[in-house]
Structures are given as structure tokens and as C-alpha cells.
């Protein structure tokens, strides 16, 4: 008997205002929905439709047999509220994603969660839908007759090419965008072999790294909805294997995908510094921006977090990108162990001296299961009774202090980082009126009108949704 299954992506902190600037398709749910033809799926992305308050969710849930929800640590509070509504309606509630995988004991504590699929979801979900006895399904945690069982882990999928293609047809592609450019996402590999102390990926994928074949990657790109003009590769480390990247580039050019799509990926400073020829080829194939986790510009802090790159590579990496017309979106952590205010401000200055194109900062966060969490607990930097279920996803207050900085100081530095970078007129004028008119960056001209027309108007129209308490508490 076919089931009606509702897969929910919970809302991000800033609601509609955020989604008009950046809104990413729920790729995980599209993969999950691909594992069975027998059942009927609906994917509900609450980032797209800001009108979903508690009553509307409750009405929607009514129609379904199984409610699956994806969950990150910062969305756990909202997810839990949705679980409670679903449970009240007598539905079966299933969670998956990083938070339930790395903190599976939440099922022991919260009776509104019936099942958790830990780790990669596809095969476990398939077996569950096929009706295999729960006790035999690897990677499943479940409640039965009031008792909770955590089955052994499921080994990682050996050949990622065997996965069915994501069910892109289940959602309307039009709301999805990255900085106002109509966008889609693609996954070419899973995991990362590095061992950064703060990172959840190392724990989730146990430092494994598996790739899809370049041919399969192209197949996925060919299925990207027509409306998209940009594809973001969600891989943690797209450039790890140069030979493979070169082959993907070759195939992108052969299939002319770069005629109507541009690409953004996540990479590492050392990969870029080592491989200027790869970067040149990537730009030729339509790559326009690299998302790089610099985290800090203090070597001892990088060593402490086991980031495994050295600062002498930074200038080289930035020059290689800019010489090839590739923008850099730098990501930094505020409150690294071993950094004081002065060190942090040196990092702010370097971001501009290096001419980075965009940056974002995040407070050091002790996510469940990470090595950082253990260290923070041991040293009393975080409350040992930290309850993710009471943290609002828009909450900006850092969750831990460090030996050099209080939580309030980290908060001040976070706000200072954005002011010092984006509100510094000299910097923005220099960047936007000089660099992007050079021939290397001529691809930016194509998007400029779009930025102005769609972006600014939509953003202003939706400003009232920013950190909207009602929107948050609606769940």
C-alpha cells in the first residue's frame, strides 16, 4: 500500500528576507525521495514559503502517513516543534541529518521522535520503506513499545554512481538563488579526509572521501532545472583530486554546460596554491567563485584547530584565483582558541589587504560529536548542560567562550567583522568600481543588472521578515 510521505526542510533564521538573497534547494530531501517509486512524496521547503505558521503546518501534516524532517543543530528547536505537532496528529516522525546523527540520544529524550536515520540516508530509508523489520535495518534508531533501540551503523555507500538521481521535479525551481542569481545545487563527492577539530563532517563521514565519476557528475548537471544559471557544488572539498577536476572540466566544456551555467564550489587554500593550472581550467569551464574556509590568519590558531594549511599559501592562493577571474568567498571563525581581540582584528585587516571579494564570519561553535565539543566541555568553555532544543536558530549569541574572549566579546567581534569589511566605503568602492570592470571579471557584467533589479527590490520588500520573532515562534 503506497504511503504519503512529507519531507520537510525547516526554515533558516532570517526567513523570507534571507531566501530572497540566498536560497538553496533541499538536495538531501530530493535524494531521499528518489529511493522509491512506490510511495508518494511531497517536499516542503519552509524557506521558500514563509507563510507556514503552526496552523498551516498542522493542516499540511494531516494528509500524510510519514513525516521526515532534516535537522541541523541550529534548527533542532524548530524541528522539535514540528515533531510535536505531527505526533499530536498521530503521525510517524522520522529525523535525519547532521544533528540527529551526531546526537542520536535525542530520541531517548524526546518522545515526539519515532525514528532517526543516522548518516547517509538513502539505503536506510529505502529498506525502511520496503518494510524490512526495523531491528535489521543498519543505521536506524527507533522506538518500539516504549523502548529505544540504536542499531549498528551502516557502512558508507561504496559506489555513489549507483544512487538514483535527485527528484528535482518535486519542487518549483524558481525561488532558488545564490545572491539573486537563479541557482541549483549538485553533489559530486561525499566527505573529507581532513580532521579539523571544529568540523562535523569529519565525524559524520569518519574522514572518508568518496567521489561520483565525472560522467555521473555531468549527468546530474544535465538534469539541473532550466531556470538555473548558477550551480553550487555542495562538496566539502571539490578540488581534492586534480585529475578528476580536470576531467569534470573537460566534460563540462564538451557538453557546453558552461554556455548557460556558472559554477561555485568549496575548496581549500592549499589545493588552490598548488594547482594554478587547475584553477585556470576551472575558470575556462565556468567556475566563478571559490568558497574557502580560511578560518583564521594566525598560524598557531590554525594548528590548534588542525586545519592543516600554512599561511604562506594564502597570498599565492588569492593571487591565483584573482589572476584567473575567480572571486573568493572567505569564511572565518571568530573566537578561535589562542586568538585574542588584537589577533582577530589583524585577521579583519588582512581580509581587505588580500582583496577578498566576500567574507562571512561564524562564532566558534561546539557542535555535538566534534573534538572541539570535548575540549570545550573539559575546559569549561561551554555549559555542560547546553540544550540545543532551546537555542533559537536566529540566535546570534556565541555558545562558548575561549581562554582569551568572553561570549560577549566574540559577539562584538562578529559584528565588527562585517562592519569593517562591508561597510568600509573605500574597500567596497575599490572592489566594485575597479576590479570587476577588468576583462578577467567580465562575467560579472552579465549578473549586474540582475543584482540591481531582482535583488535589491526583493530584499527591501522582505525586510520585515528579518529576524522576525513571530516567524520563529510560529513553530
Which residues contact ligand SF4 by CB under 6 A?
A: 192, 194, 196, 199, 201-202, 236-237, 268, 293
Member of 17, 114, 122, 356 binding ligand B12 (CB under 6 A): 122
Q: Which residue is nearest to ligand B12 (CB)?
A: 96
**Nearest 5 degrees, angle CA 330-CA 335-CA 340?**
110
Count CB atoms within 10 A of the CB of residue 424. 14
Residue 412 touches which of ligand B12, ligand SF4, none (Cβ within 5-8 Å per kind): none
Phi, psi of 362 (to 5 degrees): -135, 145
Count CB atoms within 10 A of the CB of residue 107. 22
Which residue's CB is nearer to ligand SF4, number 159 or number 208?
Answer: 208
Count CB atoms within 10 A of the CB of residue 175. 17
Which residue's CB is nearer to ligand SF4, number 194 or number 287?
Answer: 194
Q: Scan residues 124-163 and list those touching ligand B12 (CB under 6 A).
A: 125
Distance of CA 112 to the CA centre of its chain: 26
Which residue's CB is nearer to ligand SF4, number 67 or number 196?
Answer: 196
Where does this chain touch ligand B12 (CB under 6 A) — which range of 90-98, 147-155, 243-251, 402-410?
90-98
Q: Scan residues 340-379 and list those touching ligand B12 (CB under 6 A).
A: 362, 367
Q: Scan residues 231-250 and list those touching ligand B12 (CB under 6 A).
A: 234, 236
Rounded Cα distance between 387 and 381, Å, is 15
Closest Cα partner for 84 from 116, 123, 63, 113?
113
Strand partners, 209: 191
Residue 293 touches which of ligand B12, ligand SF4, none (Cβ within 5-8 Å per kind): ligand SF4
Where does this chain touch ligand B12 (CB under 6 A) — which range of 21-29, 105-113, 339-347, 426-434?
21-29
Which residue's CB is nearer to ligand B12, number 28 or number 168?
Answer: 28
Rounded Cα distance between 68 and 54, Å, is 17
Q: How many residues does the chain have?
A: 475
Which residue's CB is nearer to ligand B12, number 28 or number 472?
Answer: 28
Q: How far is the CB of 370 from ligand SF4 (least distance, A)?
A: 10
Which residues, other chains included, contact 139 with Cβ-Cβ below 8 Å and sequence gap of 6+? 117, 118, 119, 120, 123, 124, 151, 152, 153, 154
Q: How far is the CB of 134 from ligand SF4 (least distance, A)?
A: 32
Q: Scan residues 388-407 and list those touching ligand B12 (CB under 6 A).
A: 393
Residue 27 touches which of ligand B12, ligand SF4, none (Cβ within 5-8 Å per kind): ligand B12
Output Rg (C-alpha) for the chain, integer angstroms: 22
Member of 86, 183, 200, 382 binding ligand B12 (CB under 6 A): 200
Strand partners, 361: 332
Residue 194 touches which of ligand B12, ligand SF4, none (Cβ within 5-8 Å per kind): ligand SF4
For ligand B12, the binding residues (CB under 6 A) are 12-13, 24, 26-28, 31-32, 68-70, 72-75, 94-99, 117, 120-122, 125, 187, 199-201, 234, 236, 362, 367, 393
Amino acid at each position: 500500500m503506497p504511503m504519503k510521505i512529507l519531507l520537510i526542510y525547516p526554515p533558516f533564521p532570517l526567513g523570507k528576507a534571507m531566501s530572497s538573497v540566498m536560497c538553496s534547494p533541499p538536495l538531501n530531501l530530493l535524494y531521499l525521495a528518489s529511493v522509491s517509486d512506490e510511495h508518494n512524496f511531497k517536499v516542503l521547503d519552509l524557506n521558500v514559503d514563509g507563510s507556514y505558521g503552526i496552523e498551516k503546518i498542522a493542516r499540511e501534516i494531516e494528509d500524510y502517513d510519514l513525516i521526515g524532517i532534516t535537522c541541523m543543530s541550529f534548527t533542532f528547536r524548530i524541528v522539535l516543534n514540528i515533531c510535536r505537532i505531527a505526533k499530536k496528529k498521530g503521525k510517524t516522525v522520522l529525523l535525519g541529518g547532521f544533528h540527529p546523527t551526531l546526537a542520536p540520544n535525542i530520541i531517548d529524550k524526546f518522545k515526539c521522535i519515532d525514528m532517526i536515520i543516522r548518516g547517509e540516508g538513502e539505503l536506510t530509508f529505502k529498506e525502511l520503506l520496503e518494510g524490512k523489520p526495523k531491528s535489521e535495518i543498519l543505521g536506524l534508531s527507533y522506538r518500539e513499545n516504549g523502548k529505544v533501540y540504536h542499531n549498528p551503523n551502516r557502512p558508507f555507500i561504496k559506489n555513489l554512481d549507483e544512487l538514483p538521481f535527485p527528484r528535482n521535479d518535486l519542487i518549483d525551481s524558481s525561488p532558488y538563488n545564490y545572491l539573486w542569481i537563479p541557482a541549483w545545487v549538485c553533489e559530486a563527492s561525499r566527505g573529507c579526509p581532513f580532521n579539523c577539530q571544529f568540523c562535523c563532517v569529519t565525524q559524520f563521514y569518519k574522514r572518508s572521501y568518496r567521489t561520483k565519476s565525472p560522467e555521473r557528475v555531468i549527468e546530474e548537471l544535465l538534469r539541473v532545472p532550466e531556470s538555473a544559471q548558477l550551480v553550487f557544488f555542495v562538496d566539502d572539498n571539490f578540488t581534492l583530486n586534480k585529475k578528476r577536476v580536470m576531467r569534470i572540466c573537460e566534460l563540462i566544456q564538451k557538453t557546453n554546460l558552461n554556455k548557460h551555467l556558472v559554477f561555485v564550489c568549496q575548496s581549500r587554500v592549499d589545493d588552490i596554491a598548488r594547482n594554478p593550472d587547475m584553477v585556470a581550467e576551472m575558470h575556462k569551464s565556468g567556475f566563478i567563485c571559490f568558497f574557502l574556509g580560511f578560518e583564521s590568519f594566525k598560524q598557531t590558531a590554525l594548528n590548534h584547530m588542525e586545519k592543516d594549511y600554512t599561511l604562506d599559501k594564502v597570498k599565492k592562493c588569492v593571487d591565483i584565483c584573482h589572476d584567473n577571474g575567480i572571486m573568493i568567498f572567505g569564511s572565518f571563525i571568530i573566537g578561535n582558541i589562542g586568538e585574542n581581540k588584537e589577533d582577530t582584528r589583524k585577521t579583519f585587516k588582512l581580509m581587505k589587504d588580500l582583496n577578498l571579494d566576500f567574507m562571512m564570519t561564524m562564532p566558534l561553535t561546539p557542535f555535538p560529536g566534534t573534538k572541539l565539543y570535548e575540549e570545550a566541555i573539559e575546559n569549561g568553555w561551554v555549559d555542560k548542560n547546553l540544550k540545543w532544543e532551546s537555542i533559537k536558530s536566529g540566535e546570534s549569541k556565541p555558545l562558548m567562550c575561549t581562554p582569551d574572549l568572553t561570549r560577549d566579546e566574540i559577539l562584538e567581534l562578529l559584528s565588527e567583522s562585517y562592519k569593517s569589511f562591508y561597510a568600509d566605503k573605500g574597500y567596497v568602492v575599490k572592489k566594485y568600481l575597479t576590479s570587476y570592470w577588468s576583462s578577467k571579471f567580465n562575467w560579472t557584467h552579465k549578473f549586474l543588472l540582475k543584482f540591481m533589479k531582482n535583488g535589491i527590490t526583493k530584499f527591501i520588500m522582505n525586510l520585515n521578515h528579518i529576524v522576525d520573532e513571530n516567524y520563529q515562534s510560529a513553530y
